[in-house]
Structure 1
Amino acid sequence: MRDLLRGRFARRLALAFAALGIGAAALTAVLVNAAFGARFDDYLAKQQQVRQQQLVALFTAEYTQDDAWRPESLNELAPTVTMTGSEAELRGPAGQHVWSLADAKVDAATLAMHRDMMGIGDLGPPRELPITVGGERVGTLDVRVPQGQIPAVDRDFRSDVNQLLVAGGLTAGLVALAVGLYTARRATAPIAELTRAAGDLAAGQRDRRVTTIPDNEIGQLATTFNTMADRVVKEDELRRLFASDVAHELRTPLAILRSELEAVQDGIREPTPKVITSLHDETLRLGRLIADLETLASADAAAFTLEREPLSLTTLVADTADGLTGRFADAGITLRTELDDVRVDGDAIRLRQIVTNQLTNALKFVPQGGTVTLTLRQEDGWAELQVADTGPGIPAEDLPRIFDRFFRSRTARADGSGIGLAVVAELAAAHGGTITADSTPGHGTTFTTRLPAGVRAHPRNPAQPPRSAP
């Protein structure tokens, strides 16, 4: 089917080239014939004008000879007028009839015979030609002179040109057809391969790639397709890894719950408060994992469900940090905040989630005695939130992928799902912002979230000390 579609497209393209060549030749033929027709019409009109001037001169000379119109003298002009194949009638100054070929006994049949013998064509339209002598109009000559005929050499030339144009049009059509077929095959080859590759990829051949990449727009499309195919393979791999990680995360607490419950059922263990607390911790662990998965799913639609409103990002960040102060204190981590007055237009719940995810992510990796510094300021119309920690840092090979939706570093702790930063990236993008990470192994990590600021920031009172949690 693909080869059939390719053949149809190639044939249509080739036929379009052929039609273009033939059409160009036909247009040339029309223009050349129009030019020749105009030239020949001018030629015939000049012939008629010459014959008319000759007849006027003939009758003018006759009047000048006698200073009057004499019918017997005019009859002597009849053979000359007849030889030209023209019809002529002479009228006086007052419009009265003076003379005609009929007065000289020359009929229309005789004139037609002369025109046929001389091959000078049919009569043209009637004309009224004034006859003047000494500046005075002495008569009017009503004439119809032959239209004339195109010389044989001109007719042959025009015929030869038309034949050349026909031959040229056919040749141009054949050449255009050949060029069209060649061009169509070259043009459709990468398209056909791209179509086959897309079909194979859709059929499950994840290793299918386009190998023919011309240096044009089709080549750009092929390159984009290969990039997309690579991304699909990468996404499939990340999904498999993510599914494996999730299964592992679910299996561990479920196994603990099952074993503990079976031990209680069998009477091996007593449902002591310690056992109940352990079971409760495992259910909380399952709940956190499920909550993270729900958060990631809802982040997909964040751009369409944001409930934006003007708000103080400073207050939101401060309140979020206050809510986590106890957890930082329990972990032995110092939380410092340095907040300028910044306002944005955003969804308060989603923005709080951005801050929470970054702070809880720091809680997982910063060791006891470490420090997390939360900084907020406005620069060049952007609200810039930085979360800097003194943790172990992120390996260089993992840093470019930490915001991938299904990526989880192998060095991550077992109590996390590994999708918190992906959620932050989705929510930041939904607000028209970005998040980046800068890290050096052994020297901590700094996450920078940039969001469009609403109004110009005003720095907090310098006398007010930064808020911190020991």
Structure 2
Amino acid sequence: MRLTIFHKLFISLMLISMLMMVGMALLINNSFKNGFQSYLNQSEVEKIESMAEDISAYYSSDQGWRQLQQQPELWDRLLRNIGEYPRRPKDHSGPTSRKSRPDYNRLEARLNLLDKDEKSIIGKRKNLRRLHANIQITKVAITKNEQTIGWLSIIQRENIKGHLAERFLRQQLDNFYWIAAWAALFSFIVAALLVRHLLKPLKSLHSAAKSLSNGNFNYHIDVRGNDELAELSLAFNLLTSTLKTQKLSREQWLADISHELRTPIAVLLSEIEAIEDGIRQPEPKYIRSLHDQVITLTRLVDDLYSLSQSDSGILIDTSHTVDITNIINNIANQNEVRLTDKHIAIQRLYDHSQPTLLKADAKSLAQLIGNLFENSYRYTDENGQIHINLQQTNDHILLTIEDSAPAVPEDALPKLFDRLYRVDKSRSRANGGSGLGLSICENIVKMHNGKISAQHSELGGLKIAISLPIKDD
């Protein structure tokens, strides 16, 4: 049989309740027995203390306790004064010569009068011995003129015994068991309602999970309260919203990739079909055009591969110390010739002879700076300029690369790092851009726990600002 969470919680609560009730029953039973017997014993002690005050009047310094020994009715009178009514056989000679079997549930059968040397004057001598472990002997001093003239000794039980006391005990325990039974029934009902209430959010989560597995990303859980289950429901709603956003982004991503691949493939297909149909001859200019389209496809595929690598974070090792100044110098030197051909001047606003060290991955940093140089080269007009600045604080490296016109519209700045986004698609495609370079840069910076942003440049173009931690967090 499959046990649901409802059954498990319900059974757990019921078991805990039952164990607590059984434990309470045992403890109350033991405590009641001991407490009730202690109460009875203390009541008897109070009686014989009262009797001890009265009995001193029958003591004589000359004759001792002889008056009580010779007149048993005086002893009986003392017992009646404390509420005890002695039972005597018809034929008896004195308080110590009773032949009937004593009833030890009665106080008189357990009471002894002792002299000051604790020798028995009235009562059974065997009362002065502990017959078993359940028996205790209590003595109360009899005083006269502040001197001890004798003792009243009584044997008492430590645990409850006797028909009347046992009947009272059973009655009280029966009442307790009935109360416990009703409490158990009440606990049963409360546990069922409580577990059902607690599991209601889990049922909502279960329904939401099934709906989500069926592709419904619009399911929303109604959150009530502020406990852990409410936090779980909020997290699930956030997960649903995130998955929905990712689904839409993935669909848009696939549509954009398909569009980007369709254009060069369509051009290639049309050029090849024209040559096959004899419309065009395989002249060098047409072969060069085919080659350019293949280059465009290759660049796009390479960028897609680089983006997937930067997404997954593979091949990123930030445990080594890297000189970013040296990386910038090398990439600037590599691009200097073609930038000069386009009449774009590079101005370095930092000490390129001073090393700047940080914990980073050298290969990915080279790709980052190379992409930024490539972006400036493609989208900066001729006779423009590029400024590179590198600053170091206590815990960060600040790198800025800015170029001259053309400028980027204000509303396009936040979108520059979106995949396949282009400010001017026709111009970007003509320059060979795939729209993935800045997305790759953003991934690399994030993998180094840094920040990257796009701003307007005072030179009239675009400014890319990067902040990288010196030590890997």
Unpaired stretches in structure 1, ≥5 consecutive residues: 109-122, 456-470
Q: Does 1:227 align with 2:224?
A: no
Distance 1:65 1:73 in 2: 16
Task: Give the counterpart of 1:368 among 367, 382, 395.
Answer: 382
Distance 2:367 2:188 in 1: 69
Task: Give the counterpart of 2:320 among 309, 332, 337.
Answer: 309
Corresponding residue of 1:62: 58
Q: How does 1:277-292 map to 2 (within 5 A)?
A: 277-292=288-303
1:15 and 1:180 in contact (8 A); partners too: no
Distance 1:283 1:235 in 2: 28
Task: Give the counterpart of 2:41 among 33, 41, 45.
Answer: 45
SS at the partner of 2:214?
A: helix
Task: Give the counterpart of 2:333 among 322, 336, 352.
Answer: 322
TM score, norm. by length of structure 1: 0.72
Q: Does 1:73 align with 2:70?
A: yes
Q: Which amino acid aligns with 1:209?
A: Y
For residues 393-442 of structure 1, what are the alpha-carbon distances to aligned partners after superposition, in whole Å with 9 as ceiling and x for unaligned? 445554433323x44337332222221111111111111211111249x9
Q: How does 1:344-383 map to 2 (within 5 A)?
A: 344-379=358-393, 381-383=395-397
TM score, norm. by length of structure 2: 0.72
SS at the partner of 2:136?
A: coil
Compared CA separation, residues 359 and 30, structure 1 to 2 (3 A): farther
Q: Does 1:208 align with 2:218?
A: yes
Corresponding residue of 1:86: 109
2:109 and 2:123 in contact (8 A); partners too: no
Distance 1:359 1:41 in 2: 98
SS at the partner of 2:249?
A: helix
Compared CA separation, residues 196 and 302, structure 1 to 2 (3 A): closer
Deviates more, 1:236-245 or 1:140-149: 140-149
Compared CA separation, residues 322 and 211, structure 1 to 2 (3 A): same
How much is the aligned-residue C-alpha RMSD, in angstroms?
4.4
Distance 2:193 2:31 in 1: 31
- Once the 2 structures are TM-superposed, how far is the Cα of residue 256 of structure 1 from its aligned partner? 6.7
Distance 1:188 1:287 in 2: 51
Q: Does 1:199 align with 2:222?
A: no
Q: How does 1:380-395 map to 2 (within 5 A)?
A: 381-395=395-409
- Once the 2 structures are TM-superposed, how far is the Cα of residue 224 of structure 1 from its aligned partner? 0.8
1:86 and 1:144 in contact (8 A); partners too: no
1:10 and 1:185 in contact (8 A); partners too: yes
Q: How does 1:156-195 map to 2 (within 5 A)?
A: 163=178, 166-167=181-182, 170-171=185-186, 173-175=188-190, 177-181=192-196, 183-184=197-198, 186-195=200-209
- Once the 2 structures are TM-superposed, how far is the Cα of residue 90 of structure 1 from its aligned partner? 4.5
Corresponding residue of 2:281: 269
- Once the 2 structures are TM-superposed, how far is the Cα of residue 374 of structure 1 from its aligned partner? 2.0
Q: Which amino acid aligns with 1:224?
A: L
1:18 and 1:177 in contact (8 A); partners too: no
2:221 and 2:237 in contact (8 A); partners too: no
- Once the 2 structures are TM-superposed, how far is the Cα of residue 324 of structure 1 from its aligned partner? 0.8
2:372 and 2:438 in contact (8 A); partners too: yes
Distance 2:440 2:48 in 1: 99
Distance 1:199 1:284 in 2: 42
2:139 and 2:153 in contact (8 A); partners too: yes
- Once the 2 structures are TM-superposed, how far is the Cα of residue 133 of structure 1 from its aligned partner? 4.1
Distance 2:298 2:252 in 1: 23
Compared CA separation, residues 124 and 75, structure 1 to 2 (3 A): farther
Compared CA separation, residues 402 and 184, structure 1 to 2 (3 A): same
SS at the partner of 2:383?
A: coil
For residues 10-53 of structure 1, what are the alpha-carbon distances to aligned partners after superposition, in whole Å with 9 as ceiling and x for unaligned? 56556667778888888888888888767645532321212332
Q: Which amino acid aligns with 2:58?
A: E
Compared CA separation, residues 313 and 10, structure 1 to 2 (3 A): same
Corresponding residue of 1:468: none
Distance 1:174 1:323 in 2: 80
Name the structure, 1 or 2, with higher relative contact order (CA <8 Å, separation 6+): 1
Distance 1:224 1:357 in 2: 34
SS at the partner of 2:108?
A: coil
Compared CA separation, residues 180 and 30, structure 1 to 2 (3 A): farther
Distance 1:349 1:151 in 2: 92
* Aligned residues between the structures: 423
Distance 1:48 1:304 in 2: 92
Q: Does 1:247 align with 2:261?
A: yes
- Once the 2 structures are TM-superposed, how far is the Cα of residue 210 of structure 1 from its aligned partner? 1.7
For residues 206-243 of structure 1, what are the alpha-carbon distances to aligned partners after superposition, in whole Å with 9 as ceiling and x for unaligned? x4332534464144224312321222222322332233
Q: Does 1:409 align with 2:405?
A: no
Corresponding residue of 2:462: 445
Distance 1:30 1:291 in 2: 79
Deviates more, 1:411-420 or 1:71-80: 71-80
Corresponding residue of 1:126: 137
2:69 and 2:122 in contact (8 A); partners too: no
1:22 and 1:173 in contact (8 A); partners too: no
Q: Which amino acid aligns with 1:86?
A: A
Deviates more, 1:208-217 or 1:26-35: 26-35
Distance 2:27 2:124 in 1: 45
Compared CA separation, residues 192 and 297, structure 1 to 2 (3 A): closer
2:33 and 2:169 in contact (8 A); partners too: no
- Once the 2 structures are TM-superposed, how far is the Cα of residue 62 of structure 1 from its aligned partner? 2.9
Percent of matched pairs sharing the same residue = 18
Distance 2:247 2:279 in 1: 50
Unpaired stretches in structure 2, ≥5 consecutive residues: 80-85, 88-106, 128-133
Compared CA separation, residues 212 and 392, structure 1 to 2 (3 A): farther
Compared CA separation, residues 330 and 219, structure 1 to 2 (3 A): same
Corresponding residue of 1:419: 436
Compared CA separation, residues 92 and 348, structure 1 to 2 (3 A): same
2:389 and 2:401 in contact (8 A); partners too: yes
1:87 and 1:143 in contact (8 A); partners too: yes
1:190 and 1:213 in contact (8 A); partners too: no
Corresponding residue of 2:130: none
